[in-house]
Amino acid sequence: MRRLGLLSLGFLLFLFSGIVGVSYCSALDFSPTTGLIPVYTYQVVNTYPHDHQAFTEGLVFEDGFLYEGTGLYGSSTLRRVELETGKILKVCELPAQFFGEGVTIYEDKIVQLTWKSHLGLVYDKESFELLQKFSYPSEGWGITYDGKHLIMSDGTSTLHFLNPETFEEVSRIEVSANDIPVTRINELEYIQGEIYANIWQTDYIDRIDLQTGEVVGWIDLEGILSPEEDDETVDVLNGIAYDAKDDRLLVTGKFWPKLFEIKLLKK
């Protein structure tokens, strides 16, 4: 698994040992196909250029365009991007004290989180004019919209459901796989009744039941970057967008040179 730190490795060993009922040592030989939770791999359908300087934190697709939030202090942005070319059509630079995080679209607005500032930003979708700010007590990681609520991650196993008009929390769920909490939930995308979530510092996307918080599938994207592309200039997998009209699943990562349209295959 690409660029997997000790913390990530410990998490996966703990999680997989719970799934297959083996010890930590045995989990080193874990085969996802033996688990109780379905594991999916991928087929690359199309490849698109992606800004290699974009530290991708949020991604959403609507009306033919990508909307991307990028992070890092002094470099955070909100962007409208042409999918086919990767061309940045519009950009809003965040003040240097903000580390941009997840983005989503609600009606004619874009909502963007910040990491440690406890502050969300609401923009006009067309002009990128800042319309409103709102606060939350946790860190901000990922955000998506399910047609009723804004759903927000904060790096823990908790997903927070917010009223999209008042931004008040109305409910929450705890994400788990076979009763083991799943932490470091990052970028989110609502897809056909499920939440798809990047797990930070891994090549996995979780498919999460919206009602129970149970992980109902793992998507293993290891190897999607070629060995030549998977070098020290790229960072972790992060960025999920869904084209509901044409049923297209799009993924990328931080500082990745490409964005991929993929089809899921059951292992």
* pLDDT tens digits for range 43-80: 999 999 999 999 999 999 999 999 999 999 999 999 99
- % of the chain residues with pLDDT over 90: 83
- Over the stretch 172-183, which tens digit does the pLDDT of each residue have? 999 999 989 999
- % of the chain residues with pLDDT over 70: 87
Q: Region 154-159: what's the mean pLDDT?
A: 97
Domains and their CATH numbers in the chain:
6-266 (2.40.128.630)
What's the whole-number average pLDDT of the chain?
89
CB–CB of 190/197 below 8 Å? Answer: no
Q: Give CA–CA dist 55/187, Å, rounded.
A: 12
Which runs of E-coded beta strand occur in 136-253? 143-145, 150-153, 158-162, 169-174, 176-177, 180-181, 185-191, 194-199, 204-209, 215-220, 237-243, 248-253
Chain centroid offset of residue 9 CA: 19
Q: Give CA–CA dist 235/47, Å, rounded.
A: 18
Cut 0.85: pTM above it: yes
- Over the stretch 4-51, which tens digit does the pLDDT of each residue have? 443 344 444 444 444 333 322 222 232 343 458 999 999 999 999 999
Q: What is residue 141's three-state secondary structure?
A: coil
The reported pLDDT for the residue numbered 230 is 87
The reported pLDDT for the residue numbered 4 is 43
The reported pLDDT for the residue numbered 28 is 27
**Apex 45 CA angle, 217 and 87, nearest 5:** 110
The reported pLDDT for the residue numbered 35 is 58
The reported pLDDT for the residue numbered 34 is 40
Q: What is residue 115's three-state secondary structure?
A: coil
- Over the stretch 213-247, which tens digit does the pLDDT of each residue have? 999 999 999 999 998 898 889 999 999 999 999 99
